[in-house]
Amino acid sequence: MSDTHAQTVAYVRDTMLPQQPPPASEAGAVKWVRANLFPDILNGLLTLVALFIIFKILAGFLPWLFGGIWHTQSLAECREILDGATGGCFSVLTERWNQLLFGFKYPSEEYWRPALAFVMLFVAAAPLLFAMYVPRQVLYFTALYPFIAFWLIWGGTILTPIMALLGFIAGYIAFKKLEASSFAGALGAAVVTAFIVWFLGGYVTGAMSGVLALPEVPSRDMGGFMLNFILGTVCVSLSLPIGILLALGRQSHMPIIKWICVVFIEFIRGVPLITLLFVANVVLAYFLPPGTTFDLILRVIIMITMFSSAYIAEVIRGGLAALPKGQYEAADSLGLDYAQSMRLIIMPQALKISIPGIVNVAVGLFKDTTLVSVISMFDLVGMIRGPILASTEWNGVYWELWGFAILMFFPVCYGISQYSQWLERQLATDHR
């Protein structure tokens, strides 16, 4: 039987055939195009329509961009050079870049100070944003950065931020000394100690105002994108811890604390931000003693921080509500008190759940800083709508200026969004 079968088989291969490359339509760019752009007739038509729209946009935008004029003194001169040709008048950017970035009153010889503070911000934020990659020793610089940045941007004697720092240090020491006996008493002692140090520090800085002093720049002289960045950075940094406290206070079993937080959150969320800015600009002065000067930027920071912290509190409250009851019971079974359970078990999980909502509030807050232009603060939008477009040289330039505003805001907002997605991937400990 086997001999007959062997005689009928002409050839038996005893080696494997070499691997063949896949068909061209199933590999590389061709496969990607078929799978993503032309998987069926309907999606193929939509792809062709989208490509046509993109072509029309680029056909008008690219000649306007690359045919633009960068070195003229006015819009009329720019249009005379173009003589009907397609091109943007970008000379307004080369002529007014300093006003767009720093405002029209900030001393030009001091531009290095906010620029240096901006660069140092990345170093200070690194251990907070990328803790797993940055040495913990950098946290010392992070703690000092707010005081250094204040001195660089506003100027004056260096003793002012030093005394402010000493007040926080003294308050922290007083809090740690009394924390074991009574949390409320320790917090009160910390506040009193800090205010005492700041009160005494006012006399010291007044008597030694010339020690390591930079030229002072009042808040009314600040503007441009620098003002937007200051407001956005400070308000986001302050609103997150305040929002956490408000969220915890709203869930407190103490009726007074709970209702104070509820009334604050609901009132702030029911009032437009522009109304709060008008209150900061006009109404707040009526509640201060006559002759009292309250820095306008500080008033705006307080109002924007109150506004954003109310929204962040609701986002975090949603994260706390999303946690299963077993997490709270697990913390109680370990014998942890309220502060320990919140710090070690509950709050890390709630913040992880709340990351998308927190980022949404942060991005919206940074963009809402442009609303300060309605109270005569010359931020980036205020500079465009005010001194630049009101000038006879550049009255009529719109696309170039608003395009510059887009280039300033988009990288910041997009960077925040991308960082949040990266952080979610880093914290994705659950397996699905």
Q: Which residues of the chain have pLDDT under 50?
A: 431-432
Nearest Cα to 296, choosing from 196, 362, 379?
Answer: 379
Cα 115–chain centre separation: 17
User: Residue 85 has which token pair?
Assistant: 């040709």
- Write down the pLDDT at residue 6: 53
- Write down the pLDDT at residue 380: 92
Task: Please tell me whether residue 132 adopts helix, strand or coil conformation.
Answer: coil
User: Residue 246 has which token pair?
Assistant: 């408000």
Q: pTM higher than 0.75 for the full model?
A: yes
Q: Give yes or no for a contact between 279 and 210, defined as CB atoms under 8 angstroms apart.
A: no
Distance between CA 196 and CA 55 in Å, rounded?
A: 66
Distance between CA 170 and CA 237 in Å, rounded?
A: 22
Distance between CA 206 and CA 432 in Å, rounded?
A: 62
- Write down the pLDDT at residue 68: 86
Residue type at 103? G
- Write down the pLDDT at residue 25: 67
Look up residue 289 and give its DSSP letter. P
User: Residue 101 has which token pair?
Assistant: 């970035």
- Write down the pLDDT at residue 432: 47
Q: Give yes or no for a contact between 155 and 216, defined as CB atoms under 8 angstroms apart.
A: yes
Q: Which domains does the chain have, with CATH numbers?
A: 87-106+220-320+353-432 (1.10.3720.10)
In 154-296, DSSP assigns E strands to: 156-157, 213-214
Q: Give yes or no for a contact between 88 and 399, defined as CB atoms under 8 angstroms apart.
A: yes
Phi, psi of 279 (to 5 degrees): -60, -45
- Write down the pLDDT at residue 405: 93
